[in-house]
Structure 1
Amino acid sequence: MKFTFFHNNINVLDLDKSVEFYKKALGLEVTKEFHAPDGSFKLVYLGDGTTPHSLELTWLRDMDRPYDLGDNESHLAFHVDDMDAALAFHKEMDCVCFENPDMGIYFINDPDGYWVEICPQ
């Protein structure tokens, strides 16, 4: 028996805002969508165009408050081929929430407060 990664899911309050953030900040593109016939939820899958792994954004119609992210120790992580350019770009976007120069990484915050780790290739 062998397991392989398929996707990760996060729930978002403003689907359009989140899709635009992930497109702009990380270059992800929509690969697939599903809309519940009764309008109660929408799923949007984003991919990097290189790996088969995807990020599933879930929007729930009846959610009326920000999601409780707890201690926010869970996060997504991305490799980038040019750390200096990426860090400058994300600082320009004003989404850098934590830098760890000793480890050579930093984190950005998405519109819902999820952290995304940026690592060198």
Structure 2
Amino acid sequence: MAKAIHSMIRVLDEARSIDFYDRAFGLKIADRLDFENFTLVYLRNPENDFELELTVNKGRAEPYDLGDGYGHLAFVVDDLDAEHARFEAEGLAPRKLVAFAPGGPGTDPIARFFFVADPDGYQIEVLQRAGRYQ
């Protein structure tokens, strides 16, 4: 059986990205591998061993074109409202809270969430822990 171990994104400013993922999601550096042309920084938190790999290409000055293929990363939290307020207080500019109820008005939502963009524009969904989102 395969096990997912990390997702990789390219970032322009290592320090800015590490600060964002630490303040937003409590991700800390688990490992850092420095090579001649690039650096790999692996971030994780105590919740699990899945890591976010930041690739920093040395000498890159222009932002990455994210294209139209990237979707989003997702994190689950115990108290969505409190996290949304914390993100606002941290100046992380979360978007509005959404209750996704595809059955229409009056039906129970299947998910509550908000999105936030990291310093490079990668979209991140923050979901209330419930149902299939554990």
Q: Please report the TM-score for the alignment, with normalisation by the length of structure 1.
A: 0.89
Give the Cα separation in 2 of the matches to 1:113 and 1:53: 21
Unaligned runs of 5+ residues in structure 1 are none
* Structure 1 position 89 matched with structure 2 position 61: no
CA contact (8 A) 2:24 2:92 kept: no
How far 1:19 sits from its partner (Å)? Answer: 0.2
| Greater CA drift, 87-96 or 2-11 | 87-96
Counterpart residue type for residue 6 of structure 2: H
| Residue in structure 1 matched with residue 66 of structure 2 by the alignment | 69
| Residue in structure 2 matched with residue 6 of structure 1 by the alignment | 5
| Residue in structure 2 matched with residue 57 of structure 1 by the alignment | 54
**SS in structure 2 at match of 1:96:** coil
How far 1:72 sits from its partner (Å)? Answer: 6.2
CA RMSD of aligned residues (A): 1.5
How far 1:71 sits from its partner (Å)? Answer: 2.9
1:118 aligned to which of 108, 126, 133 = 126
Give the Cα separation in 1 of the matches to 2:97 and 2:85: 12
Larger radius of gyration: 2
Identity %: 36
**SS in structure 1 at match of 2:66:** coil
How far 1:63 sits from its partner (Å)? Answer: 2.0
CA contact (8 A) 1:31 1:45 kept: yes
After the TM superposition, list the runs of 4 or more consecutive aligned residues in structure 1 that deviate by more than 2 angstroms.
97-103
CA contact (8 A) 1:41 1:58 kept: yes
How far 1:64 sits from its partner (Å)? Answer: 2.4
Equivalent residue pairs, number: 118
How far 1:70 sits from its partner (Å)? Answer: 1.5
Q: Which has the higher strand share?
A: 1
Counterpart residue type for residue 76 of structure 1: L
1:66-110: per-residue Cα shift (whole Å, max 9, x none)? 111113641100000111110111122242145423341111110
The verdict on how the C-alpha distance between 1:27 and 1:9 changes in structure 2, with shifts beyond 3 A counting, is: same
Counterpart residue type for residue 14 of structure 2: L
Unaligned runs of 5+ residues in structure 2 are 101-110, 130-134
